[in-house]
Amino acid sequence: MIEQIEGINIAVEGCFHGNFDEIFGTIREIEKQKKIKIDLLLVCGDVQTHRNKHDMFNMACPIKYLSMGTFYKYYEGKEAAPCLTIFIGGNHEASNYLREMYFGGWVAPNIYYLGDSNVIQIKKGNTTFRLGGTSGIFKIFDFNNPKLEPFPFKSEQLRNVYHTKQIDLFKLSLYEGEVNMFLSHDWPQQIHQHGSTKELLKKKQNFEADIKSGRLGSQPHKFTLERLQPDFWFAAHMHVKFEALVKHKTGRQTKFLALDKCIAGRDFIQVFTYTKDKKDLYEQYAYNEEPIELFYDSEWLSIVHTTYKLLTIWDKIPKLFEYNPVLKELQIMKKDKYEEFLNEKRERMKIFGNHQLKIPHNFEVTTPPYDEQDNTIKGLVPPKRIPLNNQMKSYLNLFNESGQELNGLIFYEPDQPRVIGEFVAPDFLQKQIELENQKEILQQQDLKQQQLEEPSSPKDDELNIQDFPFLQ
Ligand code: 5GP
Ligand code: MN
């Protein structure tokens, strides 16, 4: 008799790059071939959740790669994700949209952004696990900076916004519970030592210098890997499949898997089944059909509340970590302060207790989605006001916080004091907007002239998105 497996069928994907239709198509194809239902898709960044043109220009990326992608169809509900999809951010994102969801949130129905760092619980039938993750990539010069990239981003802030910041690492460092799976975009530093470096170098010769100098990957992720010791760690960014097994001093083990980006024929997807007794199975699937549900993790909520004050003091945030050049690792700066935070967190955990708080399905469309028929430049102009996202509002309500302290940081209400001056578009965008504005004015003048001459002439004055040189 075939043993009935109870568990969660999981697909993990490397870099997404806006290919929603393609990757969701691949999921449907796998389901058809294997006659299974994928319960959960985990995505390791570079997702590109552009709702419209304005979001697209809030992504840092070479001009030739700027493209709308297909996310907007899922945002407005014309298309639906085939399964629950959870992702972290990489270095190519609609960073304005993700900043609205700093603590995590639904970017579209069934598509959940885990936030800049987070731990949540996932449950299907009798199978549960804790999923952690952190977004962005590590650049040492930005690590100690506050999350001070208020809307609308200035051009250089398009990059700063996705650089790993110490506050998000600090939050993870306060987590003492068991984390089963963890998502990051770049790799933990030195992870190659736990797998076949030789094989890796065969595929990626250009990693040699970074491997030799010990600089391949992220220092903060190494710290988190050693602290949390999750059962699984999934990553992307390097555009190569790589497996490793980390044996921790405590006896725990972490299975590390990095996947490629979504290109036909490349290793960008991995399917496995996570069982109720915490095994990972390959080519054996679960057929139990209970719904999959997300819950807040009470320890994480306690951490968020305990560290909230560090977010709101912005530029006065103290240095929380230092680099020890002998041990070649990050260390927490002030042990006594850290202990205070730990104790406060433990106290708060008593308040949240063991209540299972479901993550609500409170997605709302909050901005006009991309309109394929609208070829004007309208969508390029930054909105004058970005209210606190309804999902963030209800999240902060869990702590009786209004979010007003975060004004200018997370959202922008113009009647409130702001930190930076007026919007300055990235240089290329600035020029483009001017150019397009001029074009539009000229075309409107032309049209008026035409209408005067032949009042019934068809309306054909609008720009086609294909005319934008940087989209080709
Ligand atoms: P992205 O898609 O994020 O723009 O680009 C990632 C690319 O940068 C990949 O091709 C990856 O191999 C490369 N890359 C990312 N991090 C490193 C690193 O630390 N060292 C080296 N040599 N290449 C890297
Ligand atoms: Mn990347």
**Ligand 1 geometric centre to CA of 186 (Å):** 9
Please give the number of the atom of ligand 1 that sits closest to the Cα of 91.
3
**Ligand 1 geometric centre to CA of 238 (Å):** 5
Q: Which residue has the tokens 């702590």?
A: 399
The residue whose CA is least distant from atom 7 of ligand 1 is 238
The residue whose CA is least distant from atom 8 of ligand 1 is 238
**Ligand 1 geometric centre to CA of 237 (Å):** 6
Handedness of CA 137, 142, 147, 149 (dihedral sign): negative
- Closest to 465 (Cα-Cα) out of 367, 374, 383: 374
Q: Are 29 and 356 in contact (CB under 8 A)?
A: no
Helix residue spans in 181-297 (DSSP H)? 197-203, 208-212, 219-228
**Ligand 2 geometric centre to CA of 243 (Å):** 18
Domains of the chain in sequence order: 7-299 (3.60.21.10), 428-471 (no CATH)
**Ligand 2 geometric centre to CA of 92 (Å):** 6
Half-sphere exposure of 456 (CA within 13 A, CB side): 0
Q: What angle do CA 138, 139, 142 make, to 5 degrees?
A: 110
Residues with CB under 6 A from ligand 1: 15, 46, 91, 206-207, 210, 216, 237-239
* Pocket-testing residue among 15, 19, 211, 239, ligand 1, by greatest number of atoms within 8 A of Cβ: 239
Angstrom distance (rounded) from CA 394 to CA 109: 17
The residue whose CA is least distant from atom 18 of ligand 1 is 216
Q: C-alpha distances in angstroms, 441 versus 78, 428, 463? A: 33, 20, 12
pLDDT tens string, the chain, 472 residues long: the values are: 556 899 999 999 999 999 999 999 999 999 999 999 999 999 999 999 999 988 998 999 888 788 899 999 999 999 999 999 999 999 999 999 999 999 999 999 999 999 999 999 999 999 999 999 999 999 999 998 888 787 778 878 889 999 999 999 999 999 999 999 999 999 999 999 999 999 999 999 999 999 998 889 999 999 999 999 999 999 999 999 999 999 999 999 999 999 999 888 899 999 999 999 999 999 999 999 999 999 999 999 999 999 998 887 756 677 889 888 888 889 998 888 899 999 999 999 998 877 789 999 999 999 999 988 877 766 677 777 788 999 999 999 999 998 888 887 777 776 654 443 344 444 545 555 565 556 556 666 665 665 555 433 332 223 222 222 222 2
